[in-house]
Amino acid sequence: SEHSDPAPPPPTPQHLVDGEVASKMAGRKGGDRKKAVTRSVKAGLQFPVGRIGRYLKKGRYAQRVGSGAPVYLAAVLEYLAAEVTTGLPVRSCPLLFLSCSTDD
């Protein structure tokens, strides 16, 4: 018959056989990996930029979310949180006092 013997497998390339040549192959080597630097650290923020970006995407506020949007929003939220927690005196609204005093 025409299909008596299957074709023999191709020979294994030399760079897969020799350990020396295989170590020179392209790609990441299995050495020490650099520690990942978060976007919060890059921006100098305490608030989680990645989490805020994920919430922006998941909340469907827009079709696309720019890369700077979560960084900016995290900075604004961090600033507002610092303003609240420092305990600055709250401005009293004179109209509120006026309405309270005239309600006698």
Confirm whether 10 is domain-assigned. Answer: no
Confirm whether 33 is domain-assigned. Answer: no
* H or E element at residue 24: none
Task: Report pLDDT for 14.
Answer: 65
CATH code for position 45: 1.10.20.10
CA distance 19 to 12: 13
Domain that holds residue 46: 39-86
**Quick one: pLDDT band at residue 102, thresholds 50, 70, 90?**
low
Task: Report pLDDT for 31.
Answer: 80
**How many separate domains does the chain show?**
1
Q: Kindly state the tokens that stand for 25.
A: 């192959």
Confirm whether 102 is domain-assigned. Answer: no
pLDDT tens, 29-47?
A: 778 889 999 999 999 999 9
Instruction: Look up tokens 């650099």; give the residue.
Output: 34
Confirm whether 62 is domain-assigned. Answer: yes
pLDDT tens, 17-33?
A: 655 555 555 676 778 88
